[in-house]
Amino acid sequence: MDDTISIPSLLQLLWLIPAIPLVASAVDLFAGKKLGRFAGVVASAAVGVSFLLSLRLVADLVSLPVELRSYPQHLFDWISVGRFSVGADLRLDVLSATMILVITGIGFLIHVYAIGYMEGDPRYGRFFAYLNLFVFFMLLLVLADNYLLLYVGWEGVGLCSYLLIGFWFEKIENATAAKKAFVTTRIGDTAMLIGLALIVSKFGTLDFDAVLGAPGDTIAKGTATAISLLLFAGAIGKSAQVPLHVWLPDAMAGPTPVSALIHAATMVTAGVYLVVRSAPLFELSGVALTVVLIVGLVTALFAATCALAQDDIKRVLAYSTISQLGFMFMAAGMRFYTGAMFMLVAHAFYKALMFLGAGSVMHGMHEETDLQRMGGLIRRMPITGWTFVIGALTLAGIWPLAGFFAKDQILEIANHTGRTWIYLLGTLGALLSALYIGRLVFLAFFGAPRSDEARHAHGSPAIMTVPLVVLAAGAVLAGLLLSTSAEGTLARFLEPITGPVPHGEGLSTLALSVIATAIALSALAVASWIYASGRVDWLGFRERLQPLPRAAASGWYVDHAYSTLFVKPGISAARFSAEVFDSKGVDGLVNGVGGGVRRLAAAGRRIQTGFVRSYALGFFLGAVGVLVWLGTRL
Amino acid sequence: MRTPIAYFIVLSGVLFTLGTLGVLLRKNALLIFMSVELQLNAVNLALVAFSRMHLALDGQVLAFFSMVVAAAEVVVGLAIIVAVYRRRGTVDVDEARGLAG
């Protein structure tokens, strides 16, 4: 048998995967007006081609033996200073392969949906230019072969997120939300940048191979902890984890396809990707993994309680996203990276599905987002309604949908590795998830219509419903195809990067599954009884519980606290610099120098009499003075 | 017999003082100008006297220089005075004080 394995030559086209959306973005940016409606087609086609190419390249990658499934591509030398150099290097390995399939696949469906959703918008071309630019940066982020290129993608997606949240910037709230998202994530990004600097100072390079190969040989445990925590701070910001989660609910100001693509399926999962990618550093530290676990757990529970009290359909989904990302970090914190990645893929399907469904609902109800004014919509828009129900069941974790396996595996690992408290609290999180998504579904789609818009809502065009159906199919099938256990397809595929799944003893998988399903079903039943049966006055019930629901609706006043603790002192400090330090201190100094020179000149001009004789006397006295001085020196 | 150097220096000093007083006290530009010439010539006298005392020619050469320069200066200076007179109808320097601060 031939033991030299030829690398499939198609893999050389790797750079095209991010390049195609970039070119399409430029086309839409400069010719968007001329293209008119065609701009959306160009953008969707670009992402579609990228997706097909990704599929082909991943197939080529899989055809290689496991130990060779990593294809680096050096594009050009980027920075070269002394012995430190960074190249524009891409790498296709099993982890980035998973990510690019999610990004281009789900991204394509969302682009198609947006063709219908954004129709008639005055900045139609620009929207797709931004969306494609986002896809480019996201692909760059996951394909990068060193931390610096990853950081370029990281900041690039942040920029696109800012541009798209504030896409309808005529409304001041949208512009404010965009600014808030940018500034909040920037806090994490700054920490991450310090982490990168620390890596450079310790390793002398930013290449993944050199840093992640065997970090224990180069750095001590404490350094690893510092680097990991700094990187994780970046992940906290980008993935909207407590305490930097506040930007994501407000980011719902952007158009709904943006919420689906950026704030549910891809960008916010970049933090999870970063942690999984940097796993060797986190593992070396140990402490960092515990921090990841705790932050994930706290976020999962915290955001789930907030989601339970929101009345805005998109804000429920936003808090739900935060909570689900918390679950992913929990998995990563337990070294169950495969579980994190599986949940990431599954979540991308069902959350994109639900966001697009919410957009479809808004489309049919004149941009109404208030759950209190919905009800009974499943009769008015059956495709949107039933696909949304599938998404909700997936999120609630009903067998055999993808969400069931995702959540169940994470809780199983918690149970099997002896983390009883994590298991119990995680189960509580799962219960809350089923409860809030049940509340959303029953309020919006079942029961009696509660407004004229709801009574006269209309379904969406095919270009919007077809992506919903495809995503729903994905949400159903992803669970069956990818994995049914910790030894599943995805776990084996990712093993070269993530290592084997942790093992342990605990309750049997069957028992855990039964518990999880029972909890999810009972939560859905309770939600149906409260919100759709019509026998419970849920608004009155909520009034009796005050002030708890009001606090949860406001996100437990975290925004208020930040406003009091940071924003207002910040504004005061800025005002002090502007109005006191600058206008009185700095300007005072400058004006003082100017005024002083003026006063000196005013005194000096008196000498200038214009009388020639007095000048001559000046010469004379000067000459005498010089003579006298010379005389004393003789 | 040589005239002692002190005679020349005293005469030079007297001439210079007269010139200086003229420059400081006169109002007529023409007279101030003449006083300046007197000062110059006082200095020339001193230069030539010292030159002879030291039997060196440098001082005399310098005196010639200063005479040539003074001649050029007279041309320019008188032209300015004539221009001032044409413009103002007077050569009183106290009247020409437009550059007062």
Contact indicator for B19, B31 with CB cutoff of 8 Å: no
Q: Which of A317-321, A407-411, A419-423, A502-506 has the lowest mean pLDDT?
A: A502-506
Query: Residue A154's closest CA among A193, A126, A127?
Result: A193
The Cα A512–Cα A493 span in angstroms is 25
The DSSP H or E segment spanning A84 is: strand A84-93
Tell me, yes or no, if B86 comes closer than 8 A to chain A by beta carbon: no
Find the DSSP H helices in A76-121.
Answer: 94-117
B5-88 CATH, one of 3.40.50.300, 1.10.287.3510, 1.10.12.10, 3.30.200.190: 1.10.287.3510
Q: Which two tokens stand for residue A617?
A: 């006397």
Portion 545-604 of A in contact with B at CB < 8 A: 604
Please write the tens of the pLDDT for every residue from A118-166: 888 888 999 999 999 999 999 999 999 999 999 999 999 999 999 999 9
**Per-residue confidence (pLDDT) for residue A1, from 0 to 100:** 42
Structure tokens at B16: 């210079």
| Residues in chain A within 8 Å Cβ distance of B32 | 612
Is the link from the previous residue into A500 a cis peptide, with omega within 30 of 0?
Answer: no
Listed range (A486-490, A605-609, B3-7, B59-63) with the worst mean pLDDT: A486-490
Asked if the bond preceding A400 is cis, omega within 30° of 0, the reply is yes
CA–CA distance, A609 with A613 (Å, rounded to integer): 10
Q: Does B38 touch chain A (CB under 8 A)?
A: no
Assess A608–B contact: CB distance below 8 Å, yes or no: yes
Radius of gyration of chain B (CA): 17
Closest residue of chain B to A603, computed from CA coordinates: B101
Cβ neighbours, 10 Å, residue A489:
14
Chain B residues with beta carbon closer than 8 angstroms to that of A612? 32, 93, 96-97
Residue of B nearest to A604 (CA): B101
Query: Please, what sign has the CA dihedral across residues A37, A38, A44, A46?
Result: negative
Average pLDDT for residues A392-403, to the nearest whole number?
85
Q: What are phi and psi of A311, to 5 degrees?
A: -105, -15
8 Å CB contact between A47 and A62:
no
CA–CA dist A318, A524 (Å, integer): 20
User: Does the distance separating the beta carbons of A613 and B24 come in below 8 Å?
Assistant: yes
pLDDT at residue B2 tops 80: no
Kindly tell me if the per-residue pLDDT of A512 is higher than 90. Answer: no
Residue with token string 């029961």: A447
Average pLDDT rounded to a whole number, residues A225-237: 94
Model confidence pLDDT, tens digit, residues A612-628: 788 888 888 999 999 99
| CA A481 centroid distance within chain | 26
Q: How confident is the model at residue A491 (pLDDT cuts 50, 70, 90)?
A: confident
In chain A, which residues have their Cβ closer than 8 Å to the Cβ of B100?
608-610
User: What burial class does residue A586 get, using C-beta atoms within 10 Å of its C-beta: 0-12 exposed, 13-18 middle, 19+ buried?
Assistant: exposed
Q: Do A604 and B99 touch (CB under 8 A)?
A: no
Q: At A446, is the pLDDT very low, low, confident or very high (cuts 50, 70, 90)? A: confident
* Distance (Å) of CA B23 to CA A112, A266, A446, B20, B34: 98, 93, 113, 5, 9
Distance CA A74, CA A90 (A): 6
Give the pLDDT of residue A26.
93
Nearest chain A residue to B95 by CA distance is A611
Instruction: In whole angstroms, give the CA distance from residue A354 to residue A351.
Output: 5
Give A616→chain B minimum CA distance, Å.
Answer: 6
The pLDDT > 90 percentage for chain A reads 52
Instruction: Report the alpha-carbon distance of residue A44 to residue A573 in Å, rounded.
Output: 46
Please indicate if any CB of chain A lies within 8 Å of the CB of B43: no
Confidence of residue A107 (pLDDT cuts 50, 70, 90): very high
Which DSSP letter does residue B15 get? H
pTM for the model: 0.80
**CB contact, 8 Å: A613 with chain B?**
yes
Residue A506 has pLDDT above 80, yes or no: no
A610 touches B at CB < 8 Å: yes
- Residue A485 scores a pLDDT above 60: no
Interface test with B, best of A606, A609, A611, A612 (most B CBs within 10 A): A612
CB A165: neighbour CB atoms within 10 A?
29
Count the alpha carbons within 13 Å of A620 in the hemisphere toward its beta carbon: 17
User: Closest to B24 (Cβ–Cβ): which among A606, A610, A616?
Assistant: A616
Separation of alpha carbons A108 and A96, rounded Å: 18
- Contact: A616, B97; criterion CB under 8 Å: no
Cis ω on the peptide bond leading into residue A122 (within 30° of 0)?
Answer: no
Q: Is the distance from CB of A138 to CB of A161 less than 8 angstroms?
A: no
Alpha helix stretches (DSSP H) within A221-365: 221-238, 247-250, 256-260, 270-277, 279-285, 287-307, 313-333, 337-364
Cα separation, A20 vs A50, in Å, equals 7
Which residues contact residue A20 at a Cβ distance below 8 angstroms, ignoring those fewer than 6 apart? A46, A47, A49, A50, A53
Residue B101 has pLDDT above 70, yes or no: no
pLDDT at A483 over 60: no
- Kindly list the domain boundaries of chain A, sorted by start residue: 336-548, 559-633
**How distant, in Å, are the alpha carbons of A10, A387, A490, A509 from that of A476?**
32, 10, 16, 21
Q: Which position has the token pair 């495969």?
A: A338
State how far the Cα of A263 lies from the Cα of A435, in Å rounded to an integer.
22
Residue A141 contacts residue A238 (beta carbons within 8 Å): no
The sign one gets for the Cα dihedral A170, A171, A176, A179 is negative
Banded model confidence at residue A108, pLDDT cuts 50, 70, 90: very high
Which of A167, A135, A141 is closest to A153 using CA atoms?
A141
Q: Which residues contact A83 (CB under 8 A, 6 or more apart)?
A: A204
Q: What is the DSSP letter of B92?
A: B
Averaged confidence pLDDT in chain A: 89
Confidence of residue A488 (pLDDT cuts 50, 70, 90): low
Q: What pLDDT, on a 0 to 100 scale, did the predictor assign at position A400?
A: 75
Q: Is the pLDDT reported for residue A404 higher than 70? A: yes
Q: How confident is the model at residue A3 (pLDDT cuts 50, 70, 90)?
A: low
For chain A, give the percent of residues with pLDDT over 70: 98
Nearest CB to B97 within list A611, A617, A620 = A611
